[in-house]
Amino acid sequence: MDSKNEIIETNKSLDMLIADSIELIQYARQITAKQVNLVQLMTYYSLGKWIVEEQQEGKERAKYGKQVLKKLSESLTKEFGRGFSETNLEYARKFYFTYADRISQTVFEEFAVKKSQTVFEELDKEQPFLVSWSHYLQLMRIENADERKFYEIESAKSGWGIRTLQRQYNSSLYERLALSRDKDEVMRLAKEGNVITKPQDIVKQPTVLEFLGLDEKAKYVESDLETAIINKLQKFLLELGKGYLFEARQKRFTFKEDSFYVDLVFYNRLLRCYVLIDLKIDKLTHQDLGQMLMYVHYYDRYEKLPEENPTVGILLCKEKDDALVEITLPDDANIYASEYQLYLPDKQELQKKLKEWIEEGTDL
């Protein structure tokens, strides 16, 4: 082998060494982070369980609950420093109360009493906790168990950070998705999160655009709304949900020498279809619905590939009339109207509406 070939082989070997080393360290860091998070969660869970058992061992001892937390906090802080304030121990207690059924007594004893290393194999199989302690501090504020589970699943599946979780909760994502579904699928939200399998799964009632920074009372035209969305496209994609890819704004197509423009064109890779969005700053009309129907038909006939699914049309409007939508559109139309809001919705009002619908079967 000549020197030139030796250099080439050496470079290949070095490149492979570098690539393998980077991959190994990334893997090690992921495993370490996962393990550290699990240890932290199990530690707080175990402390919470012990605190509850100590405080509930007879009525007399229960009177001294605050003193238990205070004394334990002082001892742990003296031994380990920060991280074991009375507030954190109260969170640990609440964490156990909220998620007591996640850990069996056997697994608890293996971790907290026997301190066995093999317990992590069992925990890795069961995956009782999906997100970080910081996430659970937010989740524990949610009273409704189904809603809490939904946000936990979505945080894990979508990789939400704490700020994203807070925004999605404050925007009442759970209620808005639930109000767009039938009752069986509301229960599915709590068990599986937002699973995208059909066009209805990407519709929210209402769509919340508070991040655009537009004043609800100010005068603006549709082009202002469109420009604001493009300027905050990343946040708009988050509001739209999973699987969206942006393709174009004011997408032009020509039919029989007439030109038409779709405000926003997306592709949803989960549904494998185009999603056309038209913006309406006033009350939705039957002309708006007819126009979107034409857009959808055009895309189905001239743009989509044979292996792709039918195009979906969404009209984001200031005000909609469900009866008008129903009487204007064919039963099989993949077109949906969603009212948009430039402010965060009233969560209590949405919760009340959802509860009435589930319990009494009232129309939406």
Whether residue 248 has pLDDT greater than 90: yes
From 215, 249, 209, 248, select the one nearest 232 (Cα to Cα). Answer: 209
Give the pLDDT of residue 33: 74
Tell me the one-letter amino acid at 338. Answer: S
Whether residue 5 has pLDDT greater than 60: no
Phi and psi at 64, nearest 5°, equal -105, 30
Q: Report the percent of the chain where pLDDT is more than 70.
A: 90
Reported confidence tier of residue 218, pLDDT bands at 50, 70, 90: confident
Could you give the CA distance from residue 329 to residue 333 in angstroms, rounded to a whole number? 6
**How confident is the model over 147-164, as pLDDT tens digits?**
999 999 999 999 999 999
Q: Which of residues 126 and 364 earns the better pLDDT score?
A: 126
Reported confidence tier of residue 23, pLDDT bands at 50, 70, 90: confident
- Report helix angle 183-192 to 145-158, nearest 10: 60
Q: Which of residues 185 and 234 earns the better pLDDT score?
A: 234
Whether residue 362 has pLDDT greater than 50: no
CA distances to 46, 98, 215 from 102, rounded to whole Å, are 12, 9, 45
**How confident is the model over 151-201, as pLDDT tens digits?**
999 999 999 999 999 999 999 999 999 988 887 788 889 899 999 999 999
312 is written with which tokens? 């979906």
For the residues 11-17, what does the mean pLDDT come to? 70
What class has domain 207-344? alpha beta
Tell me the one-letter amino acid at 205. Answer: Q
Give the pLDDT of residue 295: 97
* N-term to C-term CA, the chain: 78
The model's pTM: 0.85
Exposure pattern of 134-163 as b/e (b: 16+ CB <10 Å)? ebbebbeebeeeebbbbbbbbbbeeebeee
DSSP code, position 102: G
Reported confidence tier of residue 4, pLDDT bands at 50, 70, 90: low
DSSP 224-269: HHHHHHHHTHHHHHHHH-TTEEEEEEEEEEEETTEEEEEEEEEEET
From 95, 99, 115, 107, select the one nearest 48 (Cα to Cα). Answer: 95
Could you give the CA distance from residue 240 to residue 86 in angstroms, rounded to a whole number? 40
**How confident is the model over 278-330, as pLDDT tens digits?**
999 999 999 999 999 999 999 999 999 999 999 999 999 999 999 999 999 99
For the residues 131-142, what does the mean pLDDT come to? 96
Is-contact 311 276, C-beta < 8 A?
yes
Give the pLDDT of residue 121: 85
Phi and psi at 350, nearest 5°, equal -65, -40
From 226, 299, 301, 208, select the one nearest 263 (Cα to Cα). Answer: 226
**Beta strands 273-283 and 312-319, pairing class:** parallel
Give the pLDDT of residue 11: 64
Residue-range domain boundaries for the chain? 3-129, 133-203+345-364, 207-344
Q: 3-class DSSP state for residue 274?
A: strand
Instruction: Write down the mean pLDDT value for the chain.
Output: 89
Reported confidence tier of residue 32, pLDDT bands at 50, 70, 90: confident
Whether residue 359 has pLDDT greater than 50: yes
Q: Which of residues 58 and 112 earns the better pLDDT score?
A: 112
Phi and psi at 2, nearest 5°, equal -75, 170
Give the pLDDT of residue 215: 85
